[in-house]
Structure 1
Amino acid sequence: MTIKLGFQIPNFSYGTGVEQLFPTVVAQAQEAEAAGFDSVFVMDHFYQLPMLGDPDQPMLEAYTTLGALANATERVQLGTLVTGNTYRQPTLLAKSLTTLDVISAGRAILGIGTGWFELEHDQLGFEFGTFTDRFNKLEEALQIILPMLEGERPTVNGTYYRTENAVANPRFRDHIPLMIGGSGEKKTIPLAARHFDHLNVIAGFDELPGKLAVVKKRCEEIDRDPATLETSVLITVLVDDNATADMVPADMSQRMVVGSAESVADQIKTKVLDVGIDGIIINMPYYTPGAITAAGEVLKPLVNP
């Protein structure tokens, strides 16, 4: 598994009628594939996020969307950034992943996290609880999901979940790449070191060196080569020759870069790749045909020199 250059679709509000909504999603995925991105991600949410829009704005269900994108693309890996564990029983999630892997001929990625959007939980009837509750649920869910993805039949009688010889067939591969999103130094990073191929670090630019130091330490504590736990960061990108840094909202200044394509590439190289992060996943505030291509042209050489 390699996620060197990924594209995330964070917004389904395109100012079009609903009949053009999914064609616009397809256009982005196909443009990213043609531009050399190695993976395409969607959000796993049912409501639009507070920083992006109102809760009643369009939001497509993630795994239905990914299944359709599997038929509209040929090469890119497909996944969520990231699945909220609280939204599905682990057996259902394992089945969704193996099905996506079959449909896409081996291009599925399992991206997963604890879940965090409280309004979504409250209004749709998902139990939210404390962060500790959600993290404990994730740890228990992985005892079911990971064996099922590898063709085993786990029996679990846990605090949150129960299974008996659970099976997910058919499967396309013996191992679907595993990505976790987060940066908690006491829980998430150690969990990533124990079980995952990839850690999407949710942290600001200034925090990245410290997070990578923790990744190295947690891997070494369990005799894992830190180089085997791939890392990435999600960055919001605005490619616009007239855009300047003072246009970036204060709460996004540590996770967003703006400017010409060349300036964007220089900023990402300095703030992310030179620090030691392995790959980058970008999203864009809105979709302008050609913008993904422009970003890909300058970013691909940085991650595949």
Structure 2
Amino acid sequence: MTVNLPSPCVVVLAGPGASGKSSWAAEHFAADAIVSSDRLRALAGAGEDDITASTDAFALLEQVVAVRMRRRLTTVIDTLGLDTERRRAWRELARRHDLPCVVVAFDTPAAECRARNRGRAKRIPADALTVQLRSWRQVRDLLATEGFDEVLTPQPIRVVPAAFVDTAAAAVRQRERPAGLRFGLHLSSFTFDGGTPATAERLREIAAAAEETGFDALYVMDHFRQIPQVGRAWDNFLESYTTLAYLAACTRTAELGALVTGVTYRNVAHLGKIVATLDVLSGGRAMCGLGLAWFRAEHTAYGWDFPPTSQRYALLEDALRLLPLLWGKGSPSFEGNVISVPEAACYPRPLREHVPVILGGGGERRTLRLAARHADAANVLGDLDTVRRKASVLRAHCAEAGRDPETVALTHLCTALVGTDDRELAASVERLRPQRVDSAKYAESVNAGTVDDHIGRFRALAEAGVNEVMVRLPDLTGPEPLTRMAKVIAAFR
């Protein structure tokens, strides 16, 4: 059985000489993560067997371990691990830096340790190994009482982003009792191979591949320049509704929408006309995402006002009330908090009898209350515990509004870097991570996981109440990454 540990973490190896610690560490961890007393003895002295260099080697080891923990890097401490005071100091240092600390106990039979030692080119002196074996019997029984987060045996181990630590069981549940889940592809970057001239063709290829992969919807961000969470302000970035119109012509089945439309960017009645036109031209596939708008720098750059939060909330509530009138029959007047429309007329009306409205934002006091009253879905961010809490709050607001919670979907926006296996995943992380960003930190930021990791994570989200996940693929410069995501989606069909 493979054990998943959260990244970053501290792994202390404990066992007598020749028990297999260094070989096991090399099999499961990158060389840079392993702090080895033997290797430091070779650095400080004449070789790994230079006992006279032990004091200096351990002094170096403690310095390296302290620096790595301070920098919150996964650290594997490869020593005998028989010194009680050193183990205590490592645990306390890990706690100080809020790092999980586990010990791996190498309870290899004494006879096997002796046989391995005899086969070494440079052997541990027999009397020294005997002392280690005696000490190990005492240490072995102490480990479970010392306060490590876990005491593990030398089994297969993976260090993964926190989102995937507990997903293995959920992946099994999905295989045994499949749950349904909608998937949307979130297009947040338009920097493609071939540059600007290739943009239209790359986008067409991605859209076609996304439908073939099984994505139910395609979403774009409603911004006018790239946001700092994704890239640089001068990176290529397409206008949202023009792009959606192009995607309508490139696709046949996927629903289309902006996740989410900033309510400050357009006259709301005009927005209603835009969405209705998109619905007609796409054959009834438009969705309308709405949000409060948050990017002050973008407003400033384009000369738009950026009203205070309270005014934007008033505008958002008016938009939620006005848009269904625009898409409905007749041309009723509308008088809201800040919007006045004498004629809510929109012809042709959308082909859909009801255009779904997705309200973006997880504010529990105001945004989710508005979603419960006026929207068809609430889109939230965050880890699994956060999503569970948002789902509970949304249900409470629905009850308060006298609305059936089943009529308001919960959707979740996240990033997912998908690898077929750990080796491919590690290569993708190294290729994509920005300079000066640790690979583990980057993996955490993009939810880097294998196909099974993501199946388990999405199953857990479905169990928390999520009806649809909108997924950003950070390596989506062409159709190829969609083939890996296809395996995840297939598990939910």
C-alpha distance in 1 between matches for 2:440 and 2:238: 27
Other structure's SS at 1:86 match: coil
C-alpha distance in 2 between matches for 1:280 and 1:60: 23
Cα distance change, pair 221–31 in 1 and its aligned pair in 2 (3 A): same
**What is residue 278 of structure 1 aligned with on the other side?**
467
Unmatched tracts of structure 2, length 5 or more: 1-179, 430-437
TM-fit CA distance, 1:105 = 0.6
1:80 paired with 2:270, answer no
Among candidates 242, 247, 256, match of residue 69 of structure 1? 247
**What is residue 397 of structure 2 aligned with on the other side?**
218
**What is residue 208 of structure 1 aligned with on the other side?**
387
C-alpha distance in 1 between matches for 2:220 and 2:440: 23
Letter in 2 for 1:146: P
Query: In terms of Rg, which structure is larger?
Result: 2
C-alpha distance in 1 between matches for 2:491 and 2:330: 40
CA contact (8 A) 1:193 1:224 kept: yes
**What is residue 125 of structure 1 aligned with on the other side?**
303
CA contact (8 A) 1:3 1:39 kept: no
**What is residue 447 of structure 2 aligned with on the other side?**
257
Other structure's SS at 2:416 match: strand
C-alpha distance in 1 between matches for 2:271 and 2:441: 35
1:197 paired with 2:376, answer yes
C-alpha distance in 2 between matches for 1:224 and 1:183: 19
C-alpha distance in 1 between matches for 2:466 and 2:374: 19
Cα distance change, pair 256–225 in 1 and its aligned pair in 2 (3 A): farther
Cα distance change, pair 226–131 in 1 and its aligned pair in 2 (3 A): same
Other structure's SS at 2:471 match: strand
TM-fit CA distance, 1:15 = 4.2
Among candidates 299, 311, 324, match of residue 146 of structure 1? 324
CA contact (8 A) 2:221 2:259 kept: yes
C-alpha distance in 2 between matches for 1:115 and 1:162: 21
CA contact (8 A) 1:45 1:61 kept: yes
**What is residue 352 of structure 2 aligned with on the other side?**
173
TM-fit CA distance, 1:159 = 5.1
TM-score (norm 2): 0.57
Letter in 2 for 1:113: G
**What is residue 29 of structure 1 aligned with on the other side?**
207
Letter in 2 for 1:238: L
**What is residue 227 of structure 1 aligned with on the other side?**
406
Q: State the percentage of identical aligned residues.
A: 33
CA contact (8 A) 1:7 1:281 kept: yes
C-alpha distance in 2 between matches for 1:158 and 1:268: 39
| Larger deviation, residues 25-34 vs 99-108 | 25-34
**What is residue 491 of structure 2 aligned with on the other side?**
301
How many residue pairs match? The answer is 299
| Larger deviation, residues 65-74 vs 128-137 | 128-137
TM-fit CA distance, 1:248 = 5.2
C-alpha distance in 1 between matches for 2:381 and 2:282: 27
C-alpha distance in 2 between matches for 1:154 and 1:285: 44
CA contact (8 A) 1:32 1:293 kept: no
For residues 264-298 of structure 1, the C-alpha deviation after alignment (integer angstroms, 9 at most, x for no partner) is 2223323x223221221111113243221321222
Among candidates 229, 232, 240, match of residue 54 of structure 1? 232
C-alpha distance in 2 between matches for 1:294 and 1:137: 41
Letter in 1 for 2:394: V
C-alpha distance in 2 between matches for 1:198 and 1:232: 7
CA contact (8 A) 1:239 1:258 kept: yes
TM-fit CA distance, 1:142 = 2.6
**What is residue 38 of structure 1 aligned with on the other side?**
216
Cα distance change, pair 167–263 in 1 and its aligned pair in 2 (3 A): same
Other structure's SS at 2:214 match: coil
Considering only aligned residues, what root-mean-square deviation do their CA atoms show, in Å?
2.1
Letter in 1 for 2:186: Q
1:78-117 matched pairs, under 5 angstroms: 78-117=256-295
1:187 paired with 2:377, answer no
C-alpha distance in 1 between matches for 2:360 and 2:331: 26
C-alpha distance in 2 between matches for 1:6 and 1:189: 21
**What is residue 25 of structure 2 aligned with on the other side?**
none
Q: Which has the higher contact order (CA 8 A, sep 6+)?
A: 1
C-alpha distance in 1 between matches for 2:219 and 2:231: 19
For residues 73-106 of structure 1, the C-alpha deviation after alignment (integer angstroms, 9 at most, x for no partner) is 0000000111111100011100000000000010
Other structure's SS at 2:372 match: helix
Structure with greater helix percent = 2
C-alpha distance in 2 between matches for 1:189 and 1:116: 17
CA contact (8 A) 2:215 2:254 kept: yes
TM-fit CA distance, 1:158 = 4.6
C-alpha distance in 2 between matches for 1:153 and 1:79: 25
TM-fit CA distance, 1:13 = 1.2
**What is residue 156 of structure 1 aligned with on the other side?**
334
TM-fit CA distance, 1:162 = 2.8
Cα distance change, pair 202–259 in 1 and its aligned pair in 2 (3 A): closer
Unmatched tracts of structure 1, length 5 or more: none
Letter in 1 for 2:489: L
